Amino acid sequence: MTRISRILLADDHAVLRAGLKSLLNAQPDMKVVGEAADGFDCVEQAVLLHPDVILLDINMPHCNGLQALQSLRQQVPSARVLVLTMHDDAEYLRQVLADGGAGYVLKQAASEELLAAIRAVVGGGVYLHPQHTRILLEDQMDQAQNRPGSLQSPAEERYRQLSEREAEVFRLVALGHRNSEIADMLSLSVKTVETYKSRLMHKLGLNSRAGLVRLALELGLLDQSS
């Protein structure tokens, strides 16, 4: 039997919530169990409903998403909070992850990316677009280089050799997606995905998916605590 993920929507735009609700309820493994128009209402409903995932906007009246996120992590720690925002901003991204968010998706992203993000965080992963992943990795590298006597790790050096598309395929493979699923998500052929996968495995010096996952964990790409 398919496990149904219970989802709470928090956004002050009713039309957007209606669209999201229609999209999510059409999925066999998702169900919207509540809606909120501001941060205070989101926290109250989360405490009452105990959803698996909370889709949280940043710009909301009375209590914004960043403020709500801090309360949610304290009061409903089991819920996975996925920020859905119009802000393609590195500082917002850093703050969301520092406060315990499980992912960061832009509102202009394709529906398939949002669905993939929800399924990733339900499975215990963290969802970031490759561009955002690179921002965080570069932050870590800058911090390491600024520490006396520190050097960039071999894993980081190998990862920086990947193209943006290779990094995207790398993350999706590490999250457990099959080649056919990745092809659908990225609008590529399965053969093209296999080519990207072979190329990135060669660049990373890997010969198994287990090794790929270990590297992703070492880089902090899948661990929410990183």
Percent of the chain with pLDDT over 90: 40
- Taking only the tens place, the pLDDT of each residue in 19-61 is 999 999 999 999 999 999 999 999 999 999 999 999 999 988 8
Prediction pTM value = 0.63
Q: Provide the CA 165 distance to its chain's centre, in angstroms.
A: 16
* Helix or strand holding residue 92 (H, E): helix 90-98
Secondary structure class of 199 (helix, strand, coil):
helix
- Taking only the tens place, the pLDDT of each residue in 86-127 is 888 777 888 888 888 888 998 888 899 999 999 989 988 788
Domains of the chain: 5-128 (3.40.50.2300), 131-218 (3.40.50.2300)
Q: How far apart are the first and last CA of the chain?
A: 33
Q: What is the DSSP letter of 89?
A: -
Q: Please give the residue that has the higher pLDDT: either 172 or 11.
A: 11
**Please, what is the average pLDDT of the chain?**
84
In this predicted structure, what is the pLDDT of residue 226?
A: 36
15, exposed or middle or buried, with CB in 10 Å at 0-12, 13-18, 19+? exposed
Tokens of 32: 């919207």
